[in-house]
Amino acid sequence: MSTQTPIRIAVVGVGKIARDQHLPAIRDSPDFELAALISRSACNVDVPVFASLDAAFAAGIILDAVAICTPPNVRWEACRVASRHGCAILLEKPPAATVDEARILKRLANHAGVPIFATWHARYASKVSEAAAWCRTHSLLSGRIDWFEDARKWHPGQVWLWKEGGFGVFDPGINALSILSALHSADWRISEPSFDVPSNVEMPISAKFTLIAGDALIETKFDFRPTAVDTWSIHLESIEGARMDLTEGGSALSIDGGVVSRGQQQEYTALYERFAGLVRSGESEFDIIPLQLAEDAFANAKTCIVGPITI
């Protein structure tokens, strides 16, 4: 596909992230043209809306790509139809509810010869590449990840998030795992995971575990309970005693306790630039390490049932 031709894209699932990030990023991108929305609820928009991808194709809509922004456990049908029609596929994080399901989606796309992009938007936060450069020149010894946000503030009414396949506090927490595995591409493993699960839902509201790679240990806490301040931070220390604090979800960085530098928010702009490159070159990018780590934590967690929550 030439670099001049706009990539005609449909967004599938028009919820919070589609409205907050995908639609503005597509609108501002020189590479994409929004051709349709696939939605059960979208209205008052200036592009055609269809209840399914099949219905869009039946109506004669021509698409080169789809961005799937539904919850992770309901993506198979859209991937199947998109692959069959030769559309490149962008998957919001996490790519699927399980590693096995993710591999099936990848095989569907590979078999049809279409690019598939399992996105990890947090890796595009403005200070992650500088943090990665620090990691390349230091030997990691220890660290701490704190990923705390109030579920009722950021995810009100998202019932799916609290059901099997919805990940609970790992929905934001997996962003930390995606950043860490990009900073330091070692074979991380999860040790001693423990979860608090409210009595009226299936997914954890908080989680604690240690991430281990070689001699490096990272104490990790995810928490979805109300908090005075949202905290999305990764603190790392090297064997030589150097320190790196990557905070604000990867958009603020301090080295050795020095001044905090911040970059502009541009995660989804960068993510769509990457997707355009993949669509035009016909390549795929599909990293499941953060999902594998989350799955390992779920498989081995010691669970404590806590009081009920309001969603």
Contact call for residues 113 and 139 (beta carbons, < 8 A): no
**What are residue 244's phi and psi, to 5 degrees?**
-130, 130
Residue 115 within binding range of ligand NAP, rule CB under 6 A: no
Output the CA–CA distances (angstroms, integers) from residue 289 to 99, 104, 125, 142, 174, in the order listed: 9, 16, 18, 20, 10
Name the residue nearer to ligand NAP (CB basis): 42 or 276: 42
Annotated active-site residue 153? The verdict is: no
Q: Count CB neighbours of 277 within 10 A.
A: 15
In angstroms, give the least distance from the CB of 195 to ligand NAP: 18
Closest CA to 125 of 308, 268, 295: 268
The residue within the footprint of ligand NAP, chosen from 29, 70, 181, 238 (CB under 6 A), is 70
Residue 92 within binding range of ligand NAP, rule CB under 6 A: yes
Binding mask 31-50 for ligand NAP (x = CB under 6 A): --------xxxx--------
Beta strands, E only, 109-183: 116-118, 140-148
The residue within the footprint of ligand NAP, chosen from 9, 14, 182, 278 (CB under 6 A), is 14
Residue 158 within binding range of ligand NAP, rule CB under 6 A: yes
Name the residue nearer to ligand NAP (CB basis): 45 or 260: 45
What single DSSP character describes residue 232? E
Residue 15 within binding range of ligand NAP, rule CB under 6 A: yes
Q: Give the CA count within 13 Å in the CB-facing half-sphere of 171.
A: 27
- In the complex, the residues that contact ligand NAP under the rule CB under 6 A are 13-18, 39-42, 69-72, 74, 92-93, 121, 158, 160, 171
Q: Which residues are catalytic?
A: 93
